[in-house]
Structure 1
Amino acid sequence: MKPLRRHLSWIALAALAGVSSAPAADAITPREVIRLFNGKDLTGFITWERKHGRDDPDKVFSVVPQIDGAPAIRCSGQYFGGVITVDSYTNYRLIVEFRWGLLTWEPRLNRARDAGILLHCQGEPGNQTKNFDGAWMRSVEFQIIEGGIGDVILVNGYDRGNPQIIAPRLKTKVTPGTQRWNPDGVLAEFTRGRIDWLRRDPEWKDVLGFRGRGDNEKPLGEWNHLEAICDGGNITYFVNGEKAMEGWDGTFKEGRLLFQSEGAEIFYRRIELHPLQR
């Protein structure tokens, strides 16, 4: 069970955000398919921006009734932050479809389109920084960036009243001397930073529209299919059907999900949690 203080803070947060249901005291394990996005509105989510906190005066987060024939959550990218599930989840297979829009914003106006899905988010929004005014939460990220879809980023964070940073830990196999996942590599443990997906271009550049030689991302404007298998502390990422990343024995095993806005317009749809195949 989560500490009472954390649970109560989320009850208050949900109330302030206009969310009718308080978060569960324990993480939910899907027994059937859970559709996190209802296709109509942001019920079941709250929003968070580094600039405005729980407010969203510029409508960074919205639901579009139809794009390519179906509704989707739109994150404009104007401010860093995300839409965050009210409830926590564990032991699931996440399926998400995303596509980029055309808008980009400073400070990433001419840089690679960037976003991500933060898994196992713990604590309160903004806890990436000691002042709790960051864009993110401590978590394990499924990176979505041009040229790097399928990277892992371990996001450190804080708890109120505790000055010590809290770091997720994850083991994986990498090519010696690198941070690139390699199923035939050597075992290493990480507590922060990025682990590159299997075929990330070593000459990757942070420029708008970047495409690596081995990328499996669809062309701009097409939908990409992502899967994340979260089984206890183990994770496996798939991008358009290709296995991109695998990690084991992670210390973060449950939490909320955060879908990022990070300088580039992005649309998310078919956000589903499936039971694991045992």
Structure 2
Amino acid sequence: MISNASFRALALRGLSMLVGCFCALGWLAAGQTNPAGPASAAETNQPVLTPVADEEFFGWLLGLGADSNKVAQLRQAADTQRYWGWFRDRPLAVRQPEQLLNGRDLAAFYPWLEREGTFADREGVFTLTNGLLRISGQRTGYLATRRSYSNYRLVAEFKWGEATWGRRKERTRNSGLCIHGVGEDKVWMRSIEIQIAEGQTGDVVVLEGAKLTVDGQTKVRSYDTFKRPGSEQVVDKTGFRGKEDLEKPHGEWNTLEVIALGATLRVKVNDTPVLAGESAYPSAGRIYLQSNGAEIFFRRLDVYPVAGE
């Protein structure tokens, strides 16, 4: 029969081996800590512990009698992971042209869908066929760049498909090109949206704490909108077009151009300027394309350096 002292010694030995394995593998609940490996939630779809949760975990190990030196190694590995994440996710000024839609794959992006999460696109909401990105619109979510960007000229080309879904089935087709996305994945990530919607394409919307100033007016409440010149009352019905609509007829390709330099913002729809803003917050972040009840296609999403940056 094993004595209490022997049992405790065996338990501590097992715990020490477990903590040693954690250290050897560089593993701490959130995944790899090796800077050469994936680390972000977008790349691993793993939960990331906060510093508070880290300390609770380390305290729990110490309370069980784990070796303090090995727990210190784990703490250092967690800090390394966190600092690496900050470095990896820093906004990158665009130094050379980049085709985010390269016609071959969607490696520059990750999908996020409401009630499903990151990388959980089981219904094929985001697909690439013959070089075209199709967003079905069947689920609410987005396709976001893995990297964050600052100081760039962005050119997107899109056209509507036919399908509409759910509560928006009979309503105006709706999507969006969002820039400067930061924070948690949700509906919607904090960002500035260039609206893509029937009768509203070219409107600019601030989302979830973003803000922007245009002609001395600052908007900060989520869904506050800067209307494009010539905008009119929208009839929320599929196929709506306004008299002064800048969007081309259904089925034709349209071009959006965004110049983001520092905290300034310029937007064009089919070569027509629609907005000149300043004091943008955030002023850098991810670029993402919304899935919001209507089928839409993209054939181009290119970023270029901005002259003078």
Give the TM-score band, short-chain normalised: 0.7 to 0.9
- The question of 1:207 aligning with 2:237 is answered yes
Shift of 1:270: 1.4
Q: Find the counterpart in structure 1 of residue 121 from structure 2.
A: 56
Distance 2:250 2:301 in 1: 20
Shift of 1:138: 0.5
Secondary structure of residue in 2 paired with 1:107: helix
Secondary structure of residue in 2 paired with 1:249: strand
Pick 1 or 2: higher relative contact order, CA cutoff 8 A, min separation 6: 1
Larger radius of gyration: 2
Whether the aligned pair in 2 keeps the contact of 1:51 and 1:79 (CA below 8 Å) is no
For 1:62, give the aligned amino acid: T
Report Cα offsets for 1:29-80 as digits up to 9, x if no partner.
Answer: 1111011111111101100111311211111111011xxxxx1111000011
Distance 2:108 2:134 in 1: 16
Which residue, out of 76, 92, 100, partners 1:36?
Answer: 100
Q: Find the counterpart in structure 1 of residue 290 from structure 2.
A: 260
Shift of 1:10: 6.3
Any stretches of 5+ residues in structure 1 without a counterpart?
66-70, 127-134, 157-166, 174-186
- The question of 1:89 aligning with 2:141 is answered no
Distance 2:294 2:245 in 1: 19
Report Cα offsets for 1:72-108 as digits up to 9, x if no partner.
Answer: 1110000111100000000000000000000000110
Q: Report runs of 4+ in structure 1 exceeding 4 Å deviation.
A: none
Q: Which has the larger helix fraction?
A: 2
What is the CA RMSD across the aligned residues, in angstroms? Answer: 1.9
Q: Find the counterpart in structure 1 of residue 206 from structure 2.
A: 154
Distance 1:31 1:273 in 2: 10
Q: Which has the larger strand fraction?
A: 1
Q: Find the counterpart in structure 2 of residue 243 from structure 1.
A: 273
Whether the aligned pair in 1 keeps the contact of 2:42 and 2:146 (CA below 8 Å) is no
For 1:170, give the aligned amino acid: L
Secondary structure of residue in 1 paired with 2:40: helix
Distance 2:88 2:109 in 1: 13
> What is the aligned-residue identity percentage?
36
1:40-189 map, 5 Å: 40-54=104-118, 55-65=120-130, 71-126=131-186, 135-156=187-208, 167-173=209-215, 187-189=216-218
- The question of 1:16 aligning with 2:76 is answered no
Any stretches of 5+ residues in structure 2 without a counterpart?
1-29, 47-84
Report Cα offsets for 1:150-200 as digits up to 9, x if no partner.
Answer: 1111001xxxxxxxxxx1221112xxxxxxxxxxxxx21110211111111
Structure 1 108/10 Cα, relative in aligned 2: closer, same or farther at 3 Å? farther
Whether the aligned pair in 2 keeps the contact of 1:90 and 1:232 (CA below 8 Å) is yes
Structure 1 25/60 Cα, relative in aligned 2: closer, same or farther at 3 Å? closer
Structure 1 10/140 Cα, relative in aligned 2: closer, same or farther at 3 Å? farther
